[in-house]
Amino acid sequence: MSDQTKQAGDTGGDDGRELAAEYALGLLSDAEIAAFEARLEEDAELRADVLAWQEHFAAAIYQETEAVEPSPQLAKRLQTVLFKPEKRSLWQQIWPYGLGGVAAALVLWLSVTTGLVTLDDALRADLVAELAPTEDGEGLLIRAAVDTERGAVQVVRSAGAAPEGRVFELWLIAGDTAPVSLGLLSADESTLIDLPEDILADLPGALLAISDEPPGGSPTGAPTGLVRAAGPLTAS
Amino acid sequence: MTPQEEVENLIARVAMGDRAAFTRLYDRTSAKLFGVCLRVLDDRVEAEEVLQDVFVTVWNKADSYKVNGYSPMTWLITITRNRAIDRRRALKQPPVPIETADLLPDSKPGPEGAALAASEARQIQACLDELPRARGHLVRRVYLDGYSYADLSQATGVNLNTIRTWLRRSLMALRECLSR
């Protein structure tokens, strides 16, 4: 009650105590809320009062409310709402192309015979891959040729380009292992990339994939952008 | 680590975008908060929608938690209660009638009396139990069920101004008890 005597001379604070409790409980009308919040701005004691009520009522609610498990779907829904559907894994994005080796070889044969693609003569390709565009890579025409003996891959991009402000990065996916970066594609049509010796044996049957990445390449060592094109390496 | 520190710690990590911490915070608190929603809304579907909304807010606003000075469970319960009440009012759910017999002015403390008064953690309950039983019941309808003055008036058939006067008196008595 000492509070009331303290408030006695304060004409603006006459019903502040009641209002603080009513505010904390959500009992005020919109107009009253607006007026009270203006007072709260000015009055630290009133703010402390509101806070104290909220602590007390939350404690009472905590004690008196029974815990009830929500349905398990809610947790899943939240994951989807907040964290978006997880980007499809690289494997999910490229698996149709893994099965498309024969078709890819046919497209390659057509490309070469129609003169669409010319290979660097210096490169004696023993493995080739037609990197078919994924649904995010419409318009891309990219093929790769590997000279295992020389330990190099030439990537020829004859149509399509990386999105503005992004670069293309080439990935090798052998067996069940995580994608290994082979390097960035240059802005030119053709890029020659030296391959580390320890991966050469894994190349036949492995997949090559192109993702778009920030300039300088993936900051994480794994693809972070969309996979734009992919295809298996097959004997030429 | 006390449970309170644990929840506080989880909120701090959620504020930094830690998804694993968010999942643990959900596992740790969702059942209690769902109970809060259900108490106000009495409808599982509505209550789950509100709870989803609450956790989206928690994920997005966890960084503002420290600023307002609440303890962690108070922050979570206050957000939940406010959202549930907003929904309750938007749905215009009718209040459950309160028996007139329950409202007869009665100066005796509620049946629980001061039995719980010794426990500091239950200070608020002890003080609520010091109120005349009928008044305590009205206050509980407000903080547990999210009733408005209009709801209380409708539930009791008592005029709104009278209800407000009763409730304000009860709250001030409560305040006095709590400050002892």
CA B124 to chain centre: 12
Last residue of a domain, one of A64, A81, A105: A64
Mutate which of B81, B139, B141, B165 to disrupt the A interface (most A C-beta within 10 Å)? B81
A102 and A167 share one domain: yes
Q: Does any CB of chain B come closer than 8 Å to the CB of residue A215?
A: no
**Given CB atoms, is B91 within the 8 Å cutoff of chain A?**
no
Rounded-to-integer distance, Cα A106 and Cα B179, Å = 85
B165 to A22, A214, B172: CA distances (angstroms): 12, 65, 11
Which of A161, A169, A165, A214 minimizes the C-alpha distance to A188? A161
**pLDDT value, residue B118:** 38
Q: Output A179 or A34, whichever has higher pLDDT.
A: A34
Mean pLDDT of chain A: 81
A217 lies in the same domain as A104: yes
Q: Which amino acid is at A77?
A: R
Q: In the prediction, which pLDDT does A234 show?
A: 87
Q: What are phi and psi of B128, to 5 degrees?
A: -60, -40
pLDDT in the model for residue B4:
82
B77 and A69: CB-CB below 8 Å? Answer: no
| pLDDT in the model for residue A24 | 95
- Minimal Cβ distance to A54: which of B51, B78, B167: B78
Domain C-terminal end among B50, B67, B91? B91
Phi then psi for residue A141, to 5 deg, are: -130, 105
**One domain for residues A97 and A35:** no
% of chain B exceeding 70 in pLDDT = 87
pLDDT digits (tens, 9 = 90+) for A192-213: 888 888 888 888 888 899 999 8
B21 pLDDT more than 90: yes
B112 and B86 part of one domain: no
Higher pLDDT, B149 or A148: B149
Task: Please say if the pLDDT value at position A98 is more than 60.
Answer: no
Contact B56 A56 (CB under 8 A): no
| B143·A61 Cβ contact <8 A | yes
The yes-or-no verdict on residue A155 having pLDDT over 80 is yes
How many domains is chain A partitioned into structurally? 2
Q: How many CB atoms lie within 10 A of CB A186?
A: 14
Residue A150: the pLDDT is 83
- Output the pLDDT for position A225: 84
Question: A105 falls in which pLDDT band (50, 70, 90)?
Answer: low
Same domain for B80 and B108, yes or no, is no
- Could you say which of B91, B123, B158 is where a domain stops? B91
List the domain range (segments joined by +) for residue A125.
Answer: 90-235
Length of chain A: 236
Residues B11 and B83 in one domain: yes
Q: Is the pLDDT of residue A89 over 70?
A: no
Q: Are residues A134 and A226 in the same domain?
A: yes
- Torsional sign, CA A181, A183, A188, A192: negative
Token representation of residue A73: 């779907």
Identify the pLDDT of residue A3.
Answer: 43
Asked whether residue A116 falls in the same domain as residue A173, the answer is: yes
Q: What is the pLDDT of residue B110?
A: 44
DSSP per-residue string spanning A5-46: HHHTT-GGGTTHHHHHHHHHHT-S-HHHHHHHHHHHHH-HHH
| CA closest to A2 among chain B residues | B176
B166 lies within 8 A of chain A by CB:
no
pLDDT for B107-121, tens place per residue? 444 444 333 333 445
Domain count along chain B: 2
CA distances from A21 to A16, A17, A46, A80 (A): 9, 7, 10, 38
pLDDT at A9: 37
Q: Are A232 and A99 in contact (CB under 8 A)?
A: no
Q: Is the pTM of this model over 0.80?
A: no
Report the C-alpha gap between B123 and B132 in whole angstroms: 16
Asked whether the beta carbons of B25 and B14 are under 8 A apart, the reply is yes
Same domain, A110 and A217: yes
Residues of A in contact with B77 (CB under 8 A): 58, 61-62
**What digits encode the pLDDT tens for the residues A15-71?**
899 999 999 999 999 999 999 999 999 999 999 999 999 999 999 999 899 999 999
Kindly report which listed range (A98-102, A134-138, A201-205, A211-215) carries the lowest average pLDDT score.
A98-102
Same domain as B153, residue B82:
no
pLDDT tens, position by position, B67-98:
677 889 999 999 999 999 999 999 988 898 88
Q: How confident is the model at residue B10 (pLDDT cuts 50, 70, 90)?
A: very high
Q: Which of B91, B109, B124 is the last residue of a domain?
A: B91
The CATH code of the domain that includes B108 is 1.10.10.10
Please report the pLDDT score of residue B119 as a whole number: 45
- Among A25, A77, A80, most B C-beta atoms within 10 A, so best to mutate, is A25
Partner B contacted by A39 (CB < 8 A): no
Q: For residues A100 and A183, state if they share a domain.
A: yes
Task: Give which of A236, A205, A227, A210 is closest to A99, Cα–Cα.
Answer: A205
**pLDDT band, residue A80 (cuts 50/70/90):** confident
B131: domain range?
100-178
pLDDT digits (tens, 9 = 90+) for B119-171: 445 788 889 888 888 888 999 999 999 999 999 999 999 999 999 999 999 99
Q: Indicate whether B108 and B146 sit together in one domain.
A: yes
